[in-house]
Amino acid sequence: MSFSSATDSFDSGPRPTGSNRWDAEIHPGWDIGGNANGGYLLAIAGRTMARAAYRPDVTTITAHYLRPGPAGPISIDTNVVKAGRRFSTVQGTMATEKPILSILGSFTDLAANPSEHEVMLQRAPEWGDPEDMPRVEATDSFPPPAMGRVDLRLHPEDNFYNGPSGTPQMRGWVRLTDDEPWDTFSLLLASDIFPPTVFNANFTIGWVPTLELTVHVRNRPAPGWLRCEFASRFVTGGFVEEDGLMWDSSGILVAQSRQISLLPRPE
Amino acid sequence: MSFSSATDSFDSGPRPTGSNRWDAEIHPGWDIGGNANGGYLLAIAGRTMARAAYRPDVTTITAHYLRPGPAGPISIDTNVVKAGRRFSTVQGTMATEKPILSILGSFTDLAANPSEHEVMLQRAPEWGDPEDMPRVEATDSFPPPAMGRVDLRLHPEDNFYNGPSGTPQMRGWVRLTDDEPWDTFSLLLASDIFPPTVFNANFTIGWVPTLELTVHVRNRPAPGWLRCEFASRFVTGGFVEEDGLMWDSSGILVAQSRQISLLPRPE
Protein backbone atom coordinates (compact mmCIF):
# COMPACT_ATOMS: atom_id res chain seq x y z
CA MET A 1 0.00 0.00 0.00
CA SER A 2 1.45 3.34 -1.03
CA PHE A 3 1.50 6.38 1.19
CA SER A 4 -1.04 8.27 -0.91
CA SER A 5 -3.44 5.35 -1.02
CA ALA A 6 -3.36 5.51 2.76
CA THR A 7 -4.19 9.19 2.81
CA ASP A 8 -5.55 10.34 -0.50
CA SER A 9 -7.36 7.87 -2.75
CA PHE A 10 -11.06 8.12 -3.38
CA ASP A 11 -11.50 4.80 -1.63
CA SER A 12 -9.56 5.54 1.50
CA GLY A 13 -8.78 9.26 1.55
CA PRO A 14 -10.86 12.08 2.99
CA ARG A 15 -14.47 12.03 1.79
CA PRO A 16 -16.68 15.12 2.12
CA THR A 17 -19.78 14.39 4.18
CA GLY A 18 -21.63 17.65 3.95
CA SER A 19 -20.53 21.12 4.81
CA ASN A 20 -17.12 21.32 6.46
CA ARG A 21 -16.89 17.71 7.63
CA TRP A 22 -14.77 14.99 6.05
CA ASP A 23 -14.48 11.31 6.80
CA ALA A 24 -11.11 9.60 6.59
CA GLU A 25 -9.25 6.64 7.98
CA ILE A 26 -6.10 6.07 9.99
CA HIS A 27 -4.67 3.00 8.30
CA PRO A 28 -2.92 0.31 10.30
CA GLY A 29 0.83 0.03 9.97
CA TRP A 30 1.62 3.75 10.32
CA ASP A 31 1.90 3.56 14.08
CA ILE A 32 4.43 3.82 16.84
CA GLY A 33 3.34 1.52 19.64
CA GLY A 34 -0.21 1.33 18.29
CA ASN A 35 -0.71 5.08 17.70
CA ALA A 36 -0.32 6.74 14.32
CA ASN A 37 2.81 8.74 13.54
CA GLY A 38 2.30 12.49 14.01
CA GLY A 39 3.52 13.38 10.53
CA TYR A 40 1.18 10.83 8.98
CA LEU A 41 -1.77 12.43 10.81
CA LEU A 42 -0.63 15.91 9.77
CA ALA A 43 -0.42 14.79 6.12
CA ILE A 44 -4.03 13.56 6.23
CA ALA A 45 -5.15 16.79 7.88
CA GLY A 46 -3.18 18.97 5.47
CA ARG A 47 -4.53 17.23 2.37
CA THR A 48 -8.07 17.52 3.65
CA MET A 49 -7.77 21.18 4.61
CA ALA A 50 -6.21 22.04 1.22
CA ARG A 51 -9.23 20.46 -0.48
CA ALA A 52 -11.54 22.51 1.71
CA ALA A 53 -9.56 25.59 0.61
CA TYR A 54 -9.41 24.62 -3.10
CA ARG A 55 -5.62 25.12 -3.09
CA PRO A 56 -3.06 22.66 -4.42
CA ASP A 57 -0.31 23.16 -1.81
CA VAL A 58 0.28 23.73 1.87
CA THR A 59 2.57 26.65 2.84
CA THR A 60 2.58 26.62 6.63
CA ILE A 61 0.71 24.29 8.94
CA THR A 62 0.71 23.75 12.70
CA ALA A 63 -0.80 20.88 14.65
CA HIS A 64 -1.25 20.50 18.39
CA TYR A 65 -1.39 16.84 19.40
CA LEU A 66 -4.17 16.25 21.89
CA ARG A 67 -4.67 12.47 22.05
CA PRO A 68 -3.18 9.39 20.37
CA GLY A 69 -4.68 8.30 17.06
CA PRO A 70 -5.31 4.56 16.80
CA ALA A 71 -6.11 2.95 13.43
CA GLY A 72 -9.72 3.36 12.39
CA PRO A 73 -12.20 5.93 11.09
CA ILE A 74 -11.74 9.62 11.87
CA SER A 75 -13.54 12.84 11.04
CA ILE A 76 -11.92 16.12 10.05
CA ASP A 77 -13.84 19.36 10.53
CA THR A 78 -12.61 22.27 8.42
CA ASN A 79 -13.33 25.97 8.79
CA VAL A 80 -12.04 28.30 6.06
CA VAL A 81 -11.24 31.43 8.08
CA LYS A 82 -10.12 33.44 5.07
CA ALA A 83 -10.11 32.72 1.34
CA GLY A 84 -7.68 35.29 0.03
CA ARG A 85 -6.25 36.10 -3.34
CA ARG A 86 -3.02 34.19 -2.77
CA PHE A 87 -3.54 32.23 0.49
CA SER A 88 -6.45 30.55 2.19
CA THR A 89 -6.32 29.88 5.93
CA VAL A 90 -8.15 26.95 7.46
CA GLN A 91 -8.76 25.76 11.03
CA GLY A 92 -9.16 22.01 11.40
CA THR A 93 -10.00 19.43 14.02
CA MET A 94 -9.28 15.74 13.56
CA ALA A 95 -11.31 13.54 15.89
CA THR A 96 -12.56 10.10 16.70
CA GLU A 97 -15.01 10.50 19.56
CA LYS A 98 -12.78 13.17 21.03
CA PRO A 99 -10.38 15.52 19.21
CA ILE A 100 -6.94 14.06 18.53
CA LEU A 101 -5.44 16.95 16.55
CA SER A 102 -6.11 20.69 16.37
CA ILE A 103 -4.68 22.22 13.20
CA LEU A 104 -4.17 25.64 11.63
CA GLY A 105 -2.84 25.98 8.09
CA SER A 106 -2.46 28.32 5.13
CA PHE A 107 -2.68 26.97 1.60
CA THR A 108 -1.60 28.34 -1.76
CA ASP A 109 -0.28 27.44 -5.20
CA LEU A 110 3.49 27.05 -4.88
CA ALA A 111 3.97 26.74 -8.64
CA ALA A 112 3.77 30.54 -8.95
CA ASN A 113 7.30 31.30 -7.83
CA PRO A 114 7.19 34.88 -6.78
CA SER A 115 10.48 36.49 -5.80
CA GLU A 116 13.62 37.87 -7.33
CA HIS A 117 15.61 37.53 -4.10
CA GLU A 118 17.49 34.46 -3.00
CA VAL A 119 19.77 33.98 -0.03
CA MET A 120 20.87 30.55 1.12
CA LEU A 121 23.26 30.54 4.05
CA GLN A 122 23.17 26.75 4.01
CA ARG A 123 23.23 24.36 1.06
CA ALA A 124 21.93 20.83 0.58
CA PRO A 125 24.32 18.44 2.33
CA GLU A 126 26.37 15.88 0.38
CA TRP A 127 26.64 12.71 2.41
CA GLY A 128 27.34 10.02 -0.17
CA ASP A 129 24.95 7.49 -1.58
CA PRO A 130 21.90 6.43 0.43
CA GLU A 131 21.86 3.11 -1.43
CA ASP A 132 25.04 2.24 0.46
CA MET A 133 23.31 2.65 3.83
CA PRO A 134 21.13 -0.01 5.42
CA ARG A 135 17.40 0.58 5.29
CA VAL A 136 15.74 0.87 8.70
CA GLU A 137 13.81 -2.39 9.00
CA ALA A 138 10.69 -1.90 11.05
CA THR A 139 9.33 -4.46 13.49
CA ASP A 140 6.16 -4.74 15.52
CA SER A 141 7.86 -2.96 18.40
CA PHE A 142 11.18 -1.19 17.73
CA PRO A 143 11.91 0.22 15.16
CA PRO A 144 8.16 0.82 15.00
CA PRO A 145 5.94 -0.05 12.01
CA ALA A 146 5.68 3.54 10.67
CA MET A 147 9.40 3.62 9.87
CA GLY A 148 9.00 0.57 7.66
CA ARG A 149 6.30 2.21 5.55
CA VAL A 150 8.92 4.45 3.97
CA ASP A 151 12.46 3.76 2.79
CA LEU A 152 14.51 5.36 5.57
CA ARG A 153 18.33 5.44 5.69
CA LEU A 154 20.20 7.05 8.55
CA HIS A 155 23.44 8.96 8.17
CA PRO A 156 26.10 6.58 9.51
CA GLU A 157 27.26 9.05 12.18
CA ASP A 158 23.71 9.36 13.52
CA ASN A 159 22.77 5.68 13.43
CA PHE A 160 21.97 5.23 17.10
CA TYR A 161 21.26 1.56 16.52
CA ASN A 162 25.05 1.25 16.76
CA GLY A 163 25.15 3.43 19.90
CA PRO A 164 24.14 7.09 20.36
CA SER A 165 26.48 9.70 18.91
CA GLY A 166 26.11 12.02 21.92
CA THR A 167 24.80 14.85 19.73
CA PRO A 168 21.01 15.27 19.56
CA GLN A 169 20.74 15.23 15.80
CA MET A 170 19.33 12.83 13.23
CA ARG A 171 20.27 13.07 9.57
CA GLY A 172 19.48 10.85 6.66
CA TRP A 173 17.50 10.08 3.54
CA VAL A 174 13.91 9.09 3.02
CA ARG A 175 11.82 8.19 0.00
CA LEU A 176 8.34 6.80 -0.44
CA THR A 177 8.10 3.18 -1.52
CA ASP A 178 7.18 1.95 -5.03
CA ASP A 179 8.66 5.08 -6.65
CA GLU A 180 5.80 7.16 -5.35
CA PRO A 181 6.70 10.83 -5.88
CA TRP A 182 6.64 13.41 -3.09
CA ASP A 183 4.12 16.21 -2.89
CA THR A 184 3.78 19.06 -0.42
CA PHE A 185 1.55 16.92 1.83
CA SER A 186 3.78 13.86 2.03
CA LEU A 187 6.55 16.29 3.12
CA LEU A 188 4.49 16.65 6.31
CA LEU A 189 4.97 12.92 6.85
CA ALA A 190 8.72 13.27 6.21
CA SER A 191 8.97 16.00 8.84
CA ASP A 192 8.19 13.47 11.60
CA ILE A 193 9.22 10.04 10.30
CA PHE A 194 12.83 10.03 11.55
CA PRO A 195 13.66 8.77 15.04
CA PRO A 196 13.77 11.55 17.65
CA THR A 197 17.04 13.49 17.85
CA VAL A 198 17.28 12.72 21.57
CA PHE A 199 17.94 9.05 20.71
CA ASN A 200 21.44 10.35 19.93
CA ALA A 201 21.73 12.37 23.17
CA ASN A 202 24.05 11.37 25.97
CA PHE A 203 21.20 10.27 28.22
CA THR A 204 18.75 7.40 27.93
CA ILE A 205 15.23 8.36 27.10
CA GLY A 206 12.17 6.81 25.50
CA TRP A 207 9.82 8.34 22.95
CA VAL A 208 9.17 12.02 23.48
CA PRO A 209 5.55 12.90 22.69
CA THR A 210 5.04 15.81 20.29
CA LEU A 211 3.08 18.70 21.73
CA GLU A 212 3.17 20.80 18.54
CA LEU A 213 4.62 20.51 15.03
CA THR A 214 4.89 23.31 12.46
CA VAL A 215 6.05 22.80 8.88
CA HIS A 216 6.83 25.52 6.33
CA VAL A 217 6.78 24.24 2.75
CA ARG A 218 8.84 26.36 0.35
CA ASN A 219 8.75 24.46 -2.91
CA ARG A 220 7.15 21.42 -4.51
CA PRO A 221 9.56 18.51 -4.08
CA ALA A 222 11.19 16.58 -6.94
CA PRO A 223 10.78 12.77 -6.88
CA GLY A 224 13.41 10.56 -5.25
CA TRP A 225 15.46 10.78 -2.09
CA LEU A 226 14.87 13.59 0.36
CA ARG A 227 17.87 14.64 2.42
CA CYS A 228 16.74 15.51 5.93
CA GLU A 229 18.50 17.03 8.92
CA PHE A 230 16.89 17.24 12.34
CA ALA A 231 18.69 18.82 15.28
CA SER A 232 17.94 19.92 18.83
CA ARG A 233 19.84 22.61 20.67
CA PHE A 234 17.88 23.01 23.88
CA VAL A 235 16.65 20.32 26.24
CA THR A 236 15.35 22.64 28.98
CA GLY A 237 12.27 23.22 31.13
CA GLY A 238 10.95 19.75 30.35
CA PHE A 239 10.82 20.43 26.61
CA VAL A 240 12.97 19.73 23.58
CA GLU A 241 12.63 21.39 20.19
CA GLU A 242 13.50 19.60 16.97
CA ASP A 243 14.36 21.71 13.92
CA GLY A 244 14.22 20.07 10.52
CA LEU A 245 15.47 20.87 7.03
CA MET A 246 14.27 18.89 4.03
CA TRP A 247 16.07 19.04 0.68
CA ASP A 248 14.80 17.33 -2.46
CA SER A 249 16.83 15.25 -4.91
CA SER A 250 17.65 18.36 -6.98
CA GLY A 251 19.17 20.10 -3.92
CA ILE A 252 16.27 22.52 -3.36
CA LEU A 253 15.16 23.34 0.17
CA VAL A 254 11.57 22.14 0.12
CA ALA A 255 10.57 22.43 3.77
CA GLN A 256 11.56 23.51 7.26
CA SER A 257 9.98 22.05 10.35
CA ARG A 258 10.04 22.64 14.08
CA GLN A 259 8.36 20.63 16.77
CA ILE A 260 8.31 20.85 20.53
CA SER A 261 8.12 17.63 22.51
CA LEU A 262 7.71 16.72 26.14
CA LEU A 263 10.40 15.05 28.19
CA PRO A 264 9.38 12.53 30.80
CA ARG A 265 8.98 14.05 34.25
CA PRO A 266 11.23 12.83 37.04
CA GLU A 267 9.86 9.78 38.91
CA MET B 1 1.19 53.77 29.16
CA SER B 2 2.79 50.46 30.03
CA PHE B 3 2.64 47.41 27.80
CA SER B 4 0.34 45.51 30.15
CA SER B 5 -2.05 48.41 30.50
CA ALA B 6 -2.35 48.26 26.74
CA THR B 7 -3.19 44.56 26.78
CA ASP B 8 -4.21 43.41 30.21
CA SER B 9 -5.80 45.87 32.61
CA PHE B 10 -9.42 45.61 33.64
CA ASP B 11 -10.07 48.89 31.91
CA SER B 12 -8.42 48.16 28.62
CA GLY B 13 -7.60 44.44 28.52
CA PRO B 14 -9.78 41.61 27.28
CA ARG B 15 -13.26 41.60 28.82
CA PRO B 16 -15.44 38.49 28.71
CA THR B 17 -18.74 39.19 26.99
CA GLY B 18 -20.52 35.90 27.42
CA SER B 19 -19.47 32.44 26.43
CA ASN B 20 -16.26 32.29 24.44
CA ARG B 21 -16.19 35.90 23.25
CA TRP B 22 -13.95 38.65 24.61
CA ASP B 23 -13.76 42.33 23.84
CA ALA B 24 -10.41 44.07 23.71
CA GLU B 25 -8.72 47.05 22.14
CA ILE B 26 -5.80 47.66 19.82
CA HIS B 27 -4.23 50.75 21.35
CA PRO B 28 -2.73 53.43 19.17
CA GLY B 29 1.04 53.73 19.11
CA TRP B 30 1.81 50.02 18.69
CA ASP B 31 1.72 50.21 14.93
CA ILE B 32 3.96 49.98 11.92
CA GLY B 33 2.56 52.25 9.26
CA GLY B 34 -0.83 52.41 10.95
CA ASN B 35 -1.23 48.66 11.58
CA ALA B 36 -0.48 47.03 14.91
CA ASN B 37 2.72 45.06 15.37
CA GLY B 38 2.21 41.31 14.97
CA GLY B 39 3.78 40.43 18.31
CA TYR B 40 1.58 42.95 20.10
CA LEU B 41 -1.51 41.33 18.56
CA LEU B 42 -0.24 37.86 19.48
CA ALA B 43 0.32 38.97 23.09
CA ILE B 44 -3.29 40.17 23.36
CA ALA B 45 -4.54 36.93 21.81
CA GLY B 46 -2.32 34.76 24.03
CA ARG B 47 -3.37 36.51 27.24
CA THR B 48 -7.03 36.18 26.34
CA MET B 49 -6.78 32.51 25.33
CA ALA B 50 -4.88 31.68 28.55
CA ARG B 51 -7.72 33.21 30.55
CA ALA B 52 -10.23 31.14 28.60
CA ALA B 53 -8.11 28.09 29.48
CA TYR B 54 -7.60 29.06 33.17
CA ARG B 55 -3.83 28.58 32.77
CA PRO B 56 -1.17 31.09 33.85
CA ASP B 57 1.31 30.61 30.96
CA VAL B 58 1.53 30.04 27.25
CA THR B 59 3.73 27.15 26.04
CA THR B 60 3.36 27.17 22.29
CA ILE B 61 1.25 29.48 20.16
CA THR B 62 0.86 30.02 16.43
CA ALA B 63 -0.86 32.89 14.64
CA HIS B 64 -1.69 33.25 10.96
CA TYR B 65 -1.97 36.91 9.97
CA LEU B 66 -4.99 37.47 7.78
CA ARG B 67 -5.54 41.24 7.67
CA PRO B 68 -3.92 44.34 9.19
CA GLY B 69 -5.08 45.42 12.65
CA PRO B 70 -5.71 49.15 12.96
CA ALA B 71 -6.19 50.76 16.38
CA GLY B 72 -9.68 50.32 17.79
CA PRO B 73 -11.97 47.72 19.35
CA ILE B 74 -11.56 44.03 18.53
CA SER B 75 -13.24 40.80 19.52
CA ILE B 76 -11.51 37.53 20.36
CA ASP B 77 -13.43 34.27 20.07
CA THR B 78 -11.97 31.37 22.04
CA ASN B 79 -12.68 27.66 21.74
CA VAL B 80 -11.09 25.37 24.31
CA VAL B 81 -10.48 22.23 22.23
CA LYS B 82 -9.04 20.24 25.11
CA ALA B 83 -8.66 20.97 28.81
CA GLY B 84 -6.09 18.41 29.87
CA ARG B 85 -4.31 17.60 33.08
CA ARG B 86 -1.19 19.54 32.18
CA PHE B 87 -2.04 21.50 29.00
CA SER B 88 -5.12 23.16 27.60
CA THR B 89 -5.38 23.82 23.88
CA VAL B 90 -7.39 26.74 22.54
CA GLN B 91 -8.35 27.93 19.05
CA GLY B 92 -8.83 31.66 18.71
CA THR B 93 -9.96 34.23 16.20
CA MET B 94 -9.24 37.94 16.58
CA ALA B 95 -11.50 40.11 14.47
CA THR B 96 -12.86 43.54 13.79
CA GLU B 97 -15.60 43.13 11.20
CA LYS B 98 -13.49 40.47 9.51
CA PRO B 99 -10.90 38.15 11.07
CA ILE B 100 -7.42 39.64 11.40
CA LEU B 101 -5.69 36.76 13.22
CA SER B 102 -6.32 33.02 13.47
CA ILE B 103 -4.56 31.49 16.48
CA LEU B 104 -3.86 28.08 17.98
CA GLY B 105 -2.17 27.75 21.37
CA SER B 106 -1.47 25.43 24.28
CA PHE B 107 -1.35 26.77 27.81
CA THR B 108 0.08 25.41 31.05
CA ASP B 109 1.74 26.31 34.35
CA LEU B 110 5.44 26.74 33.63
CA ALA B 111 6.30 27.04 37.34
CA ALA B 112 6.17 23.25 37.63
CA ASN B 113 9.59 22.52 36.20
CA PRO B 114 9.37 18.94 35.15
CA SER B 115 12.58 17.37 33.84
CA GLU B 116 15.88 16.01 35.03
CA HIS B 117 17.52 16.40 31.63
CA GLU B 118 19.26 19.49 30.34
CA VAL B 119 21.22 19.99 27.16
CA MET B 120 22.16 23.44 25.90
CA LEU B 121 24.24 23.46 22.75
CA GLN B 122 24.12 27.25 22.78
CA ARG B 123 24.45 29.64 25.73
CA ALA B 124 23.18 33.15 26.34
CA PRO B 125 25.34 35.57 24.36
CA GLU B 126 27.57 38.13 26.09
CA TRP B 127 27.59 41.33 24.06
CA GLY B 128 28.51 44.01 26.56
CA ASP B 129 26.27 46.53 28.19
CA PRO B 130 23.00 47.56 26.49
CA GLU B 131 23.12 50.89 28.35
CA ASP B 132 26.10 51.79 26.14
CA MET B 133 24.03 51.35 22.98
CA PRO B 134 21.68 54.00 21.61
CA ARG B 135 17.99 53.36 22.11
CA VAL B 136 16.00 53.05 18.89
CA GLU B 137 14.02 56.29 18.78
CA ALA B 138 10.70 55.78 17.05
CA THR B 139 9.07 58.32 14.77
CA ASP B 140 5.71 58.56 13.07
CA SER B 141 7.14 56.81 10.03
CA PHE B 142 10.51 55.07 10.36
CA PRO B 143 11.52 53.68 12.84
CA PRO B 144 7.82 53.02 13.39
CA PRO B 145 5.89 53.87 16.58
CA ALA B 146 5.80 50.27 17.94
CA MET B 147 9.60 50.24 18.37
CA GLY B 148 9.40 53.29 20.61
CA ARG B 149 6.94 51.64 22.98
CA VAL B 150 9.72 49.40 24.29
CA ASP B 151 13.37 50.14 25.09
CA LEU B 152 15.12 48.55 22.12
CA ARG B 153 18.91 48.51 21.62
CA LEU B 154 20.51 46.92 18.59
CA HIS B 155 23.79 45.03 18.64
CA PRO B 156 26.27 47.45 17.04
CA GLU B 157 27.19 44.99 14.26
CA ASP B 158 23.53 44.64 13.29
CA ASN B 159 22.57 48.31 13.47
CA PHE B 160 21.38 48.75 9.90
CA TYR B 161 20.69 52.43 10.55
CA ASN B 162 24.44 52.77 9.94
CA GLY B 163 24.25 50.60 6.80
CA PRO B 164 23.24 46.91 6.44
CA SER B 165 25.74 44.32 7.65
CA GLY B 166 25.11 42.00 4.69
CA THR B 167 24.04 39.16 6.99
CA PRO B 168 20.29 38.70 7.54
CA GLN B 169 20.40 38.74 11.32
CA MET B 170 19.23 41.13 14.03
CA ARG B 171 20.54 40.90 17.57
CA GLY B 172 20.02 43.13 20.55
CA TRP B 173 18.35 43.87 23.85
CA VAL B 174 14.83 44.82 24.73
CA ARG B 175 13.04 45.71 27.94
CA LEU B 176 9.62 47.05 28.73
CA THR B 177 9.44 50.66 29.85
CA ASP B 178 8.87 51.89 33.43
CA ASP B 179 10.55 48.78 34.88
CA GLU B 180 7.59 46.68 33.87
CA PRO B 181 8.57 43.01 34.31
CA TRP B 182 8.26 40.43 31.54
CA ASP B 183 5.75 37.61 31.60
CA THR B 184 5.21 34.75 29.19
CA PHE B 185 2.74 36.87 27.16
CA SER B 186 4.91 39.94 26.73
CA LEU B 187 7.57 37.54 25.37
CA LEU B 188 5.20 37.16 22.41
CA LEU B 189 5.59 40.89 21.82
CA ALA B 190 9.38 40.58 22.08
CA SER B 191 9.38 37.86 19.43
CA ASP B 192 8.32 40.36 16.76
CA ILE B 193 9.44 43.81 17.96
CA PHE B 194 12.91 43.87 16.35
CA PRO B 195 13.37 45.14 12.80
CA PRO B 196 13.23 42.34 10.17
CA THR B 197 16.49 40.44 9.66
CA VAL B 198 16.34 41.21 5.93
CA PHE B 199 17.05 44.88 6.72
CA ASN B 200 20.62 43.62 7.14
CA ALA B 201 20.61 41.61 3.89
CA ASN B 202 22.62 42.63 0.87
CA PHE B 203 19.55 43.70 -1.08
CA THR B 204 17.11 46.53 -0.55
CA ILE B 205 13.70 45.53 0.64
CA GLY B 206 10.79 47.05 2.53
CA TRP B 207 8.74 45.52 5.30
CA VAL B 208 8.07 41.83 4.85
CA PRO B 209 4.55 40.92 6.00
CA THR B 210 4.34 38.00 8.43
CA LEU B 211 2.26 35.08 7.21
CA GLU B 212 2.71 32.99 10.37
CA LEU B 213 4.49 33.30 13.71
CA THR B 214 5.05 30.51 16.24
CA VAL B 215 6.55 31.04 19.69
CA HIS B 216 7.63 28.33 22.15
CA VAL B 217 7.92 29.59 25.70
CA ARG B 218 10.22 27.49 27.88
CA ASN B 219 10.46 29.40 31.14
CA ARG B 220 8.99 32.42 32.90
CA PRO B 221 11.32 35.35 32.23
CA ALA B 222 13.21 37.31 34.90
CA PRO B 223 12.75 41.12 34.90
CA GLY B 224 15.16 43.33 33.00
CA TRP B 225 16.91 43.14 29.65
CA LEU B 226 16.11 40.32 27.27
CA ARG B 227 18.89 39.32 24.92
CA CYS B 228 17.41 38.42 21.54
CA GLU B 229 18.88 36.91 18.39
CA PHE B 230 16.94 36.69 15.14
CA ALA B 231 18.44 35.12 12.04
CA SER B 232 17.34 34.02 8.59
CA ARG B 233 19.09 31.36 6.57
CA PHE B 234 16.81 30.93 3.56
CA VAL B 235 15.31 33.60 1.34
CA THR B 236 13.77 31.27 -1.25
CA GLY B 237 10.50 30.65 -3.08
CA GLY B 238 9.23 34.10 -2.17
CA PHE B 239 9.48 33.42 1.56
CA VAL B 240 11.93 34.15 4.36
CA GLU B 241 11.96 32.49 7.76
CA GLU B 242 13.13 34.30 10.88
CA ASP B 243 14.31 32.19 13.82
CA GLY B 244 14.49 33.85 17.24
CA LEU B 245 16.10 33.05 20.58
CA MET B 246 15.19 35.02 23.69
CA TRP B 247 17.32 34.90 26.83
CA ASP B 248 16.35 36.59 30.09
CA SER B 249 18.61 38.68 32.32
CA SER B 250 19.65 35.59 34.28
CA GLY B 251 20.88 33.87 31.10
CA ILE B 252 17.96 31.41 30.83
CA LEU B 253 16.51 30.57 27.42
CA VAL B 254 12.93 31.75 27.84
CA ALA B 255 11.56 31.44 24.31
CA GLN B 256 12.22 30.37 20.74
CA SER B 257 10.30 31.81 17.82
CA ARG B 258 9.99 31.23 14.11
CA GLN B 259 8.04 33.22 11.61
CA ILE B 260 7.61 33.00 7.87
CA SER B 261 7.19 36.21 5.92
CA LEU B 262 6.40 37.10 2.36
CA LEU B 263 8.85 38.80 0.03
CA PRO B 264 7.55 41.31 -2.46
CA ARG B 265 6.83 39.77 -5.85
CA PRO B 266 8.77 41.01 -8.85
CA GLU B 267 7.17 44.01 -10.55
Does A77 lie at the interface with B, CB-CB under 8 angstroms? no
Q: Is the peptide bond before B143 cis (omega within 30 degrees of 0)?
A: yes
Q: Bigger pLDDT: B15 or A36? A: A36
Residues 6+ apart with CB under 8 A from B61: B42, B45, B46, B49, B103, B104, B105, B106, B188, B214, B215
Write the CA distances from B9 to A147, B4, B22, B48, B150, integer angstroms.
50, 7, 14, 12, 18
**DSSP letter string over A74-113?**
EEEEEEEEEE-SS-EEEEEEEESSSEEEEEEEEEE-TTS-
Does A82 lie at the interface with B, CB-CB under 8 angstroms? yes
Inter-chain residue contact A218 with B205, CB threshold 8 Å: no
- pLDDT of B8 above 70: no
Note the pLDDT of residue B9. 44
Backbone angles phi, psi at A7, to 5 degrees: -130, -15
Note the pLDDT of residue A78. 97
Note the pLDDT of residue B82. 98
- pLDDT of B228 above 90: yes
pLDDT tens-digit map of B159-168:
998 899 999 9
- Computed over every residue of chain A, the mean pLDDT equals 92
Note the pLDDT of residue A266. 67
- Regarding pTM above 0.90, the answer is yes
Name the 3-class secondary structure at A170.
strand
Up-side HSE of residue B261: CA atoms within 13 Å toward CB? 25
Q: Give the integer Cα–Cα distance in Å for A163 and A101.
A: 34
pLDDT tens-digit map of A64-86:
999 999 999 999 999 999 999 99
Give the count of Cβ contacts less than 8 A between chain A and B: 196
Model confidence at B112, in pLDDT bands (50, 70, 90)? confident
The CATH number assigned to the domain with range A3-110+132-262 reads 2.40.160.210
The mean pLDDT of B222-229, rounded to a whole number, is 97
Does B96 lie at the interface with A, CB-CB under 8 angstroms? no
Overall fold of domain B3-110+130-262: Porin (2.40.160)
Note the pLDDT of residue B48. 96
- Computed over every residue of chain B, the mean pLDDT equals 92
Which contacts (CB < 8 Å, 24+ apart) does range A149-155 have? A149/A3, A149/A6, A149/A29, A149/A30, A149/A177, A150/A3, A150/A174, A150/A175, A150/A176, A150/A177, A150/A189, A150/A190, A150/A193, A151/A175, A151/A176, A151/A177, A152/A193, A152/A194, A154/A194, A154/A195, A155/A127
Model confidence at A113, in pLDDT bands (50, 70, 90)? low
Note the pLDDT of residue B52. 96
Name the 3-class secondary structure at B129.
coil
The mean pLDDT of B39-62, rounded to a whole number, is 97
Inter-chain residue contact B89 with A237, CB threshold 8 Å: no
The mean pLDDT of B187-198, rounded to a whole number, is 97
The mean pLDDT of A18-30, rounded to a whole number, is 92
Instruction: Report the range of poorest mean pLDDT among A17-26, A170-179, A246-255, B76-85.
Output: A17-26
Model confidence at A10, in pLDDT bands (50, 70, 90)? very low
A211 contacts B87 by C-beta, under 8 angstroms: yes
Helix (H) or strand (E) holding A226: strand A226-231
- pLDDT of B10 above 50: no
Does B236 lie at the interface with A, CB-CB under 8 angstroms? yes
From the candidates B77, B216, B229, B262, which should be mutated to test the interface with A, based on the most A CB atoms within 10 A? Answer: B216
